Amino acid sequence: MISDIKRKKYMKFIIETYGCQMNVADSELIVSILNNAGLTHTENIDDAQIIIFNTCSVRENAEKRVIGRITSEVSRKSHQNNLLVGIVGCMAQRLGEELKKINKKIDFVVGVDQYSLLPEIIEDCLNNNDFISKTTLNQAEIYNDLYPTRSNPLNAFITIMRGCNNFCTYCIVPFTRGRERSRPIKEILSEIELAGQNKSFEVTLLGQNVNSYSFENNDFPDLLQKANEIDSIRRIRFVTSHPKDLSDKLIETMATYEKVCEHIHLPLQSGNNEILNKMNRKYTAEHYLNLINKLRKAMPDIAITTDVIAGFPSETEEQYLDTLNIMKEIQFDFAYMFKYSERTGTKAADFEDSIPETTRLYRLQNLIDQQTEITTAKYKKKIGSIQEVYVECKSKRNSNEMSGKTRDFKITVFDGNESLINQFVKVKIVDAVGWTLKGIKN
Closest CB to ligand F3S among 58 and 192?
58
Q: Is 326 in the site for ligand F3S (CB under 6 A)?
A: no
* Residue from 5, 37, 58, 188 in contact with ligand SAH (CB under 6 A): 58
Q: What is the x/- site pattern for ligand SAH, positions 171-190, by CB under 6 A?
A: x-x-----------------
CB contact at 8 A, 293 and 323: no
**Residue 16 to residue 56: CA distance in whole angstroms:** 11
Does position 343 interact with ligand F3S (CB under 6 A)? The reply is no
- Planar angle of CA 85, 88, 92, nearest 5 degrees: 105
Smallest distance from ligand SAH to CB 241, Å: 8
Closer residue to ligand SAH in complex, CB, 168/429: 168
State the nearest-atom distance from the C-beta of 391 to ligand SAH, in Å: 29
- Per CB under 6 A, does 308 bind ligand SF4? no
How far is it, in rounded angstroms, from Cα 86 to Cα 124? 13
Q: Does 242 bind ligand SAH (CB under 6 A)?
A: yes
Q: How far is the CB of 242 from ligand SF4 (least distance, A)?
A: 5
**Cα gap 288→409, rounded to integer Å:** 21
Give exposure, 230-258, as e/b (b: 16+ Cβ within 10 Å).
beebbbbbbbbbbbbbbeeebbebbbebe
Using the contact rule CB under 6 A, the part of the chain among 50-58, 70-78, 323-331, 402-410 near ligand F3S is 50-58
Q: Is 320 in the site for ligand SAH (CB under 6 A)?
A: no
> Applying CB under 6 A, which of residues 45, 167, 179, 426 lies at the interface with ligand SF4?
167
Taking residues 148 to 187 in sequence order and writing x for each that binds ligand F3S by CB under 6 A, - otherwise, the string is: ------------------------xx--xx----------
Cα distance between residue 15 and residue 57, in whole Å: 17
The smaller minimum CB distance to ligand F3S, of residues 57 and 169, is found at 57
Q: Which is nearer to ligand SF4, 156 or 171 (CB)?
A: 171
In angstroms, rounded to a whole number, what is the distance separating the alpha carbons of residues 277 and 200?
A: 40
| DSSP-derived pairing of the beta strands 235-239 and 218-219 | unpaired
Q: Which of residues 11, 14, 15, 22 is near ligand F3S by CB under 6 A?
A: 22
Give the nearest distance from C-beta 414 to ligand SAH in angstroms.
32
Binding map of ligand SAH across residues 250-289, x = CB under 6 A, - = no contact: -----------------x-x--------------------
Contact 47, 84 (CB under 8 A): no
Which of 167, 191, 179 has the alpha carbon at shortest distance from 141? Answer: 179
393 Ramachandran zone, left/alpha/beta (phi>0; psi -120 to 50): beta
Q: What is the DSSP string of 50-98?
A: EEEEEE--SSHHHHHHHHHHHHHHHGGGGTSTT-EEEEEEHHHHHHTTH
Compute CA distances 407 → 186, 246, 268, 280, whole Å.
26, 20, 22, 32
Longest dimension (CA), the chain: 65
Binding segment for ligand SF4 (CB under 6 A), chosen from 39-47, 161-169, 249-257, 402-410, is 161-169
Residue of the chain from 13, 115, 143, 170 that contacts ligand SAH (CB under 6 A): 170
Stretch (H or E) spanning 401: strand 401-405
Question: Residues 199 to 238: which contact ligand SF4 by CB under 6 A?
Answer: 208-209
Binding at 106: pick from ligand SF4, ligand SAH, ligand F3S, none (beta carbon under 5-8 Å per type): none
How far apart are alpha carbons 16 and 20 in whole angstroms? 13
CB of 193 to ligand SAH, least distance (A): 27
Number of other residues whose CB lies within 10 A of the CB of residue 20: 18
Q: How far is the CB of 20 from ligand SAH (least distance, A)?
A: 6
Instruction: Kindly tell me which of 171 and 275 has the beta carbon lying closer to ligand SF4.
Output: 171
Closest by CA position to 20, among listed 357, 342, 265, 198: 265
Q: Toward ligand SAH, which CB reaches closer, 133 or 211?
A: 211
Task: Output phi, psi for 302, to 5 deg.
Answer: -65, 140
Which run of H or E residues covers position 159? strand 155-159
Q: Which residues bind ligand F3S (CB under 6 A)?
A: 19-20, 22-23, 56-58, 89-90, 172-173, 176-177
Q: Which residues bind ligand SF4 (CB under 6 A)?
A: 164, 166-168, 171, 173-174, 208-209, 242
Q: Which residues bind ligand SAH (CB under 6 A)?
A: 58-59, 170-171, 173, 208-209, 240, 242, 267, 269, 307, 309, 338, 340-341, 343
